[in-house]
Structure 1
Amino acid sequence: MATPTSDRLDVHHHVIPPAFERFAGPSTQWSAASTLSWMDDHRVAAAVMSVSAPGLPSAADEGGPRLTREINEFTAELVKNRPDRFGHFASLPMADHDPASVLDEVGYAFDTLQADGVVLMSNAVGIYLGDRLWEPVWEELDRRQAVVFIHPTATGLRPLHGLSPAVVDFPFDTARTAVDLVVSGVMHRHRHVKVILSHAGGFLPYAAQRFAGIIPVLSSPKSTPTTPDAILAGLKRFYFDTALSTGHDALKLLASFAEPGHVLYGSDWPYAGTAGTAYFNHLLDTADLTQSDREAIEHRNAELLFPRFAT
């Protein structure tokens, strides 16, 4: 077993701006100082920050473009103060289902705030990311060759036996939105976007060949592409982070499914908590990886997406 020595570039790392605290679910203490301390303790050289589930609410629920702008400017200021340690996935006001306001924020995020990419929830209040409503947004993200980080959020399902939706529903919704992006043709039409799926893609690597084989049988007139090989190729276009997903069997499956260079380190800090991140980091540290493969997962693959962090 290789000795872990490489520093990490964390692509699944959350920020909780003051304006987002009331939407952020269970109380989680966050500050830039405590985050940097945690990063130092866990060999995280830099982190690309994003807002987590449930994402930003609509304007009618005190969210919308105004809250989105406030949160993006807050996070961009953190990056400005520590560009060596922090990056920024900008949020977009998807909950209002208004592509024009989303496009306004895309332009501001990249051109003014110098965002490293954007974060999208797996669904926008029930509308999934492959819906034709979002085609102008994908066209613009493709034009900018953007990195898009997809984080799961709640579905319309009732939680199982009081379990948090993050336990089962989040991995399910990640796989659902990924399949939607492929069969709707988004991943086929927009070849320049780089899309990262949270938590090793949820159930996607495990079920990808099932999806590819059965979609043409049941749904081919409605899907693009239409052959198993083409669907599987679309599913393999995604990047996958390791947040909460470094179990040794899961990591082997992910490494065998993903395209070379498409597995990235993620911590899910601070929501995974100190104990959770320590547990999954230990699994990664003890995984049967060569030093080269370990360095690729922990930082080299992500540096190709975010070259300003290249060591």
Structure 2
Amino acid sequence: MTDPAEQLIDVHAHFVTPTYVEAAKVAGHLLPDGMTGYPSWSPAQHLELMDSTGIRTSVLSVSSPGTHFGDDRAARLLSRGLNEFATDVARDHPGRFGHFAALPLPDVDGALAEAVHALDVLGSDGVAVETNHGGVYLDDTRFDPLWTELDARGAVVFVHPTSPPCYEAVSQGRPRPMLEFPFESARAAADLIFGGVLRRHPRIQWVFTHGGGALPLLADRMELFRTVFGAGEADGPAVQEQLRRLWFDMAGTPFPHQIPVLVEAFGSERLLYGSDYCWTPAAGAVAQVASIDAAEQPSPRTWRALTTRNATRLLPGLHV
């Protein structure tokens, strides 16, 4: 595929390192989020997938369970090491990789320092956070200094789901990414709306994964509770209006149902491509791209061209 407009920009791509896996396992994450184990990853493996599926650039980030395993100092060191590693990968493969920096939340002081370092020194394309950090959700006022700094920069904040604090009671031993992750994304977006975070920090560019999870089906219900039942600011902007300001990637199972529903609810101007590799195995990522190419294409662009155009708007500094 030679047309750059048809080459995908993957905003939802992950990496792991032996140091990271070891730290997570020592902290007790032997079966992360109920999965069977950790994936393997290398730049060469990732580039092979990208070349076979027409992905021009992948923006790397650390997935759940994040980098904070109970000790602030250890989390700061682990985040810094991972961010430097990803920066080196991007430098060694010009135009092929970008990076959303890992932050050691819920250590807000450490996260603020790491965000500034990553954006100013390492040249990261944004930062990555989880839907909750040790049970602390994104509308918690403890996070306000971080959001204030990122808002002043108009930074990209990639929001990745993780296990809820009550997962033992609800997951029934199943992998949490199957059901809990989509609802975590919806909960985190609702928290940003009803906690006033989106209103107070309008310049942050929030990216939500997996087509917004359950959000397209819950937006009208959220608006009902805002206007009729007194949840949130009755005189504020509508829930749907606020959700249309978010960006959404199509990692997971985008077709035949999820992305058409998302586009119907929130439009396509902020729709992005995401593979979820390496936590989604290469075969799954290949099949997902095939489903995108086989789906009914939006007019006048293809899904590839549409999402790539949107990604270049979101990340104009991405070296592609």
Match of 1:118 among 120, 127, 131: 127
Partner of 1:263: 271
Within a 5 Å distance, the mapping from 1:1-311 to structure 2 comes to 6-22=6-22, 23=24, 25=32, 26-60=37-71, 63-94=74-105, 97-155=106-164, 156-158=166-168, 159-220=170-231, 223=232, 225-227=233-235, 230-289=238-297, 290=299, 292-309=301-318
Which segment is superposed worse, 269-278 or 32-41? 269-278
Shift of 1:260: 4.2
Deviation string 1:223-242 (CA, Å, 9 cap, x unpaired) is 2x325852221122111000
**Could you say what secondary structure the match of 2:276 adopts?**
coil
Which segment is superposed worse, 122-131 or 159-168? 159-168
Shift of 1:82: 1.6
Which segment is superposed worse, 187-196 or 270-279? 270-279
Which segment is superposed worse, 139-148 or 299-308? 299-308
For residue 47 of structure 1, what is the amino acid of its counterpart?
Answer: S
**Could you say what secondary structure the match of 2:119 adopts?**
helix
Shift of 1:263: 0.3
* 1:130/1:184 contact within 8 Å kept: yes
- Separation (CA, whole Å) in 2 of partners of 1:232 and 1:291: 25
Unpaired runs of 5+ residues, structure 2, are none
* 2:72/2:107 contact within 8 Å kept: no
Equivalences, count: 303
* 2:89/2:97 contact within 8 Å kept: yes
Q: Percent identity?
A: 34
Given the two structures, how large is their TM-score scaled by the length of structure 2?
Answer: 0.89
* 1:149/1:197 contact within 8 Å kept: yes
Deviation string 1:79-115 (CA, Å, 9 cap, x unpaired) is 1112310000001110xx3322111111100111000
**Could you say what secondary structure the match of 2:254 adopts?**
coil
- Separation (CA, whole Å) in 1 of partners of 2:78 and 2:16: 13
Question: How large is the Cα RMSD of the aligned pairs?
Answer: 2.1
Shift of 1:61: 8.3
